[in-house]
Every structure is written in C-alpha cells, then in structure tokens.
Homo-oligomer: A and B are copies of this chain.
Amino acid sequence: MRIEGFSSAAIAAGIKYKERLDLGLIYSEEPAVTAGVFTTSQVVAAPLVVDMTRLKQGRAQAILVNSGCANACTGAEGMKNCLAVSRLAAERLQIDEGMVQLSSTGVIGEQLNVEAFEKGMPQLVDGLGPENFEAVAEAIMTTDTCKKTVSRSLEIGGKTVSFMAMAKGSGMIMPNMATMLAFVITDALIGFVELNDALKKAVDATFNRITVDGDTSTNDMVLIMANGRAGNPWIEEIDSPDHALFRSCLEDMLKELAMMIVEDGEGATKLITVRVCGAREQQEALQIARTVANSSLVKTAFFGEDANWGRIIAAMGRSGVKFNPDKVDIFFDEIRIVENGVATTTEAEAAAGEILKNKKILVAVDLKEGSGCEEVYTCDFSLDYVRINADYRS
C-alpha cells in the first residue's frame, strides 16, 4: 500500500548500535494537517517539547524519528541537539524548520549523537520513497520483537480515503493520553480541529487502555498527518457522519496497533483482556480494570497458567473503588469461576485452568452495581520480562 504525496526512508545511522536501522523519516510533499497527543508524564523528553510548540500551527511536513536514544533528561544540551537535527532535516528537505516533528525512543539520560544524524541525513533524504514505510517501522523498534504496521481504507463521499500507521512499544508501557511512538498518515481531507478530536478520542479508547508494566514513558507520542489528496468532501465538523466514519476507522486501526504492542510486551506469552462491568460509573470500571491489569501477582499467575482468582479480587479490593465483594462474579472466557464473591465449582476451576493455556484470555468481572463497563488490555509477567529488564542497558 502507498498513499500519494507521502514518502518514507530509514537508514542505519549508528546512533547507538552498528548496522541496524535506527533513523527514519516520513515526508509529506505538502504541509499536512497534523495532530498529536503526547505523554502526560511530568518528565517530558526534549523532542516532545519542540513538537508540542510547533504543532500549535496544526501543520507539519516531516517526522524525523530515531531509536537508540530517548533524548529525555538531557537538559539544555538535549534541546540544542533537537534543534540541530531538525535543522539538518529541514535544510536537506528544503522545507521550513518548524514543519519538522521530532521523535526519539531508547535509553533515558544519554545525549543524542548529532554527528550520526549529520552523516546520515543525505542518504536518508535521498532514500525517500513510497515503499519505505515498513523500514521506518523497523527503525523505531527497541525491545520490540516485531514491527507493527496496519493500513485501512474507507469511502467518504464516494472517494477512497486511505490510512497507514505504525507503532513501536514493548516495555515502559502504560500510556496515559498517548503511547510509545505511533505515526499515522492519511490522504483524508480534514480540518485540524476535526483531526485532533478524532485522534484524541481514538487514542483514549485504544492506546490508553493498554499496559505492559504500568510505567508511562517520557517519550510517548502519537502523530497523524493528513494531506487531503483523497479529495473527499472536506470533513469540517466534529461528530458529522463523515467525521464519525473517519474516527471509527482510525480507532479500529489504533486498536489493532495497541493489541500488537501488548502481544509483543516484554517477555509476554499471553494477551489478557480485563473487562469490568456493572460498575457504578465507567471511570470506576476503568480504575478496577487498570489495577487488576497492573498487578504483578495477577500477571505472574497468568504466566503460570494458574486460575488464581483470589489475586484478581485482592487487586480489585485495593483499587480505591468501593464495591460489594459479596456480589462479584468473575469469568475466565465464558466460565463463571466466582459467583457472588465465592468460588463456584471445582469443575469450573478445572475448565478455567484449561482456558489459561490459551494465548488470548478474557477475564470478565461483574460488580452488579450499575452499568459502567470498561476494558483494559495487558499481558502476563514472565521470567523473560525480568531477564530483558535486568540486562536492558548492558
């Protein structure tokens, strides 16, 4: 798949490691309507500070992204380096410097290797082509074991609108308003306010519902660029039928990417959906689901394929949400293992044990207090998670 007007490139610039793709560029021939969401951490990496300022104009033409160095907690020098690499890209691309969005992922606290950008920039820009989107998706991987791209198209007003998207992420994943890096390009004709609204809502329903280890990154960001080449009727009103179509397609894509991130969670062997229903409010359902999805004891039990629902209800109990434990039902897939707060049958427990051997598992909780319902997606907690993270920087 390709989207007219966009091209991409990736090279092995040697930013941290030798001979692996680590520098990527996504380029739009004309300024594209661009929206972004960024980490809510108090600690925000330098490139995100630059991006947020530049995005006030609602337009961008390039995304320059590197792995190997997060450029977070790097002080004035980190900011200077950001501006330096953005200038290098703008000069070579012959575009305005403010049209460059920057993105970085990797180790926190190390300075960016500007020399590597300088040396690589001619090759990078000269390599721009419509087929290299996948190469960029590879260049942004860190502990990811596979690259993550999706594409979609839909009809709006008789015109085909296309999307391509990529993401990376495997550890330090509990996005809050954003996730580890994700980039979307589309030829939709859409206003900035409408694009921004669609992105925020889609991210909230997808990336903001996943967790690998409960840690929110300093570099989380999602960007979407829309160049308008599809020639669809201008989407100029939030919640109009066309906007709803656009948003739903975007949400569907981001959901697929979000699931890819959880499935590729560091050391993960299982994808677990934690669904909490019957809460007094949706926010309370989310709070309980998040607490269960982040519990180390719940996650290690899943790794051990142990239907240890006691840990699930214990995590619910400390979530800070009031509920009546004597009304709680817990299901593993379709098997009700707990009814009104107590274990059902040994047959149910045995059946749940079988379900836990699967790669994808639904844990559904019914509080029977109201109609609030939410889902959070997580993975199990394995020996490999510890191995990966004990050795990450060595």
Chain A residues at the B interface, C-beta cutoff of 8 Å: 39-44, 70, 72-75, 77-78, 107-110, 171-172, 174, 176, 213-218, 294-297, 300-301, 303-304, 306, 308-311, 313-319, 321-323, 325-326, 338, 340-343, 381-383, 385-387, 389-394
Specify the chain B residue showing the minimal Cβ separation from A314. Answer: B218
Can you identify 18 A-B contacts, CB atoms within 8 angstroms?
A40-B318, A41-B314, A43-B313, A72-B310, A75-B340, A78-B342, A108-B313, A109-B313, A213-B297, A214-B295, A215-B314, A300-B385, A300-B386, A304-B389, A304-B392, A306-B392, A383-B387, A385-B386
Docked-complex contact B73 and A325, CB < 8 angstroms: yes
Docked-complex contact A343 and B306, CB < 8 angstroms: no
Complex CA distance for A393 and B294, rounded to whole angstroms: 20
Main secondary structure of the interface of A (DSSP, over half): loop
CB neighbours of A70 from chain B (8 A): 310
Docked-complex contact A73 and B300, CB < 8 angstroms: no
Known: A108-B313, A342-B109. A390 touches B73 (CB 8 A): no
Docked-complex contact A73 and B310, CB < 8 angstroms: yes
Kindly identify which residue among B174, B314, B390 contacts A304, using a CB–CB cutoff of 8 Å. Answer: B390
Specify the chain B residue showing the minimal Cβ separation from A294. Answer: B214
Docked-complex contact B214 and A314, CB < 8 angstroms: no
CB neighbours of A174 from chain B (8 A): 318
> What 6 A-B pairs come out closest when comparing CB atoms?
A108-B310, A304-B390, A43-B317, A41-B317, A300-B389, A216-B318
CB neighbours of A303 from chain B (8 A): 386, 390
CB distance from A61 to the nearest CB of B (A): 30
